[in-house]
Amino acid sequence: MSCSLDLPLGPSCRDPSLEADLQARLDAGHRIIAVGDVHGHLATFRALLHRLQLGPEDRVVCLGDLIDRGPDSAGLVSLVRSDPRIICIKGNHEQMAIQSITAEGNVELWQPWLQRGGKSTWGSYIVRAQGDLWQAKSNFFDDAMWMDNLPTQIVLDDVRLVHAGYDPRMPLDAQGEKELLWIRKRWFQHDKPVDPARMVVFGHSTTTKVGRCAGEVAFSSFKLDDQRPAWVAMDVGAYNHVAPGIAALNIKTQRVIKQTTLRSERWFEHGNIVKSNTKNPRRWKQEGNRKEAFIAEHYGLAALRMVTRKEHVAELKAKRRLRMAGVVLEQEDVPYSALHRRSRNNIDTTLNSEVETLDWVHNGQRIRKGPGTEVDRSPPHLPGPTGFRVHHRTKMNVEAITSIDHTSSPWARPRRSQKS
């Protein structure tokens, strides 16, 4: 068993109304699509949904582990909760995140969860709340309560959808969260079907461990009575170094669609990656390589500071271009020099009166000196697309310049003879 943490693991949780609805849609010819572990890669998941071209009656079932390690777990949970076509079951990372909610209803981040990918999730909530800690805790508490009510498995007439798998030594109805959310080798190394009538679709264990080809959906070598594979492994690894991506499976036709992880979300390819001629599927676990997205740095504050800085720089560039084009901005865009003088001299005047003093009367016309005007020059130097400043050399060594023999240069033109 892979779970070595002290977790209050409970029994299995199923939603009969949800299972009846999915079975009815499947019988009516609509698509039921299972998606492997997403792990906070929101942009890649959106690209996958675009390729699936879902109809209003189609349904997508995420096999758990929506959060952790990726760059935007909070945004991914928000998308799943807002789209009625997307259903999710509980994974082991959701189970760890729930432990951050105390019995009194407070948010106290559980350290074992933070050490296993939770820093990026909490950082995404901080960034989404624009640094407001109270709002971030409120949003996380609401999402954690939603995660706690997710089913641990979905059982239909011909298929079982579960996060980790089943323990072949136990009856299927007697298995709880310890088996359904955490089991690994004891499940996929078993060589017989655990349910002769149903195909098991699961995630949790990447296909670099389960299948023969890393980055591809793995099918069991042994079959059911109807010649379908006994199980299908869907976690192709959204952050592996071989072929990262997210896979989707039509449980009726067994057609697979894989969306490669977008370049903007390949955080695992940055950092001190050990160079090698061969691709190692476990390379991301090597010392010095990234285990989480950059948003995990300082719990999202580093990413928030970078975003704020980029926005500020973009705003300054836009204002500069407007000033060069001669566009006069609003009154809050008084030149910095004027505001600095007002604060330094402690002049108690309004912003409007300050702007009026910057007007210039020229040939009977009142011209407003916009931002960037050099008010110390006479006449004032107005900004514009043709405005420029001439730099004069204050001290020039005339003797050094005249002593240079320009005629010795091969590119020098012959001088004209001076008239006496």
Tell me the pLDDT tens digit for each residue of 73-101.
Answer: 999 999 999 999 999 999 999 999 999 99
* Residue 209 placed within a domain: yes
Residues 125 and 260 in one domain: yes
* Residue 87 placed within a domain: yes
**Once rounded to an integer, what is the mean pLDDT over residues 293-322?**
86
The residue whose two tokens read 């299948």 is 211
* Residue 265 placed within a domain: yes
Residues 336 and 218 in one domain: no
**Once rounded to an integer, what is the mean pLDDT over residues 14-28?**
96
What pLDDT, on a 0 to 100 scale, did the predictor assign at position 356? 44
Q: Which tokens go with 68?
A: 């952790």
- Residue 176 pLDDT grade (very low, low, confident, very high; cuts 50, 70, 90): very high
Pair 44, 261: CB distance under 8 Å: yes
Residues 176 and 34 in one domain: yes
% of the chain at pLDDT higher than 70: 73
* Residue 388 placed within a domain: yes
* Residue 382 placed within a domain: yes
Tell me the pLDDT tens digit for each residue of 384-409.
Answer: 443 333 333 344 444 544 454 545 54
Residues 261 and 332 in one domain: no
Residues 338 and 283 in one domain: no
The dihedrals phi and psi of 55, each to the nearest 5 degrees, come to -90, 170
* Residue 75 placed within a domain: yes
Could you give the number of structural domains in the chain?
2
Residues 112 and 198 in one domain: yes
Residues 229 and 342 in one domain: no
What distance in Å separates the CA atoms of residue 203 and residue 183, rounded to the nearest whole number? 11
Final residue belonging to a domain, choices 304, 338, 364:
304
Pair 384, 340: CB distance under 8 Å: no
- Residue 332 pLDDT grade (very low, low, confident, very high; cuts 50, 70, 90): low
**Once rounded to an integer, what is the mean pLDDT over residues 218-226?**
94
Pair 267, 285: CB distance under 8 Å: no
Residues 115 and 39 in one domain: yes
Final residue belonging to a domain, choices 304, 320, 355:
304
- The region of weakest confidence among 84-93, 287-296, 370-379 is 370-379
Pair 235, 245: CB distance under 8 Å: no
Residues 163 and 281 in one domain: yes
The dihedrals phi and psi of 153, each to the nearest 5 degrees, come to -160, 155
Tell me the pLDDT tens digit for each residue of 132-161.
Answer: 888 999 999 999 999 999 999 999 999 999
**Once rounded to an integer, what is the mean pLDDT over residues 285-289?**
59
Pair 216, 243: CB distance under 8 Å: yes
- pLDDT > 80? residue 257: yes
What distance in Å separates the CA atoms of residue 185 and residue 235, rounded to the nearest whole number? 15
For residue 196, what is the domain's CATH number? 3.60.21.10
Q: Which tokens go with 390?
A: 């001439």
Final residue belonging to a domain, choices 272, 304, 336:
304
* Residue 408 placed within a domain: no
Half-sphere exposure of 101 (CA within 13 A, CB side): 19
What pLDDT, on a 0 to 100 scale, did the predictor assign at position 326? 77
Residues 369 and 257 in one domain: no
Pair 229, 191: CB distance under 8 Å: no
What distance in Å separates the CA atoms of residue 180 and residue 176, rounded to the nearest whole number? 6
What pLDDT, on a 0 to 100 scale, did the predictor assign at position 289? 73
Residues 22 and 94 in one domain: yes
* Residue 378 placed within a domain: yes
- pLDDT > 70? residue 105: yes
Residues 299 and 335 in one domain: no
Greater confidence, 55 or 382? 55
Burial (CB < 10 A; 0-12, 13-18, 19+), residue 156, is middle
Say which DSSP state 163 is in: S
What pLDDT, on a 0 to 100 scale, did the predictor assign at position 209? 85
Note down the domain range covering 278: 16-304
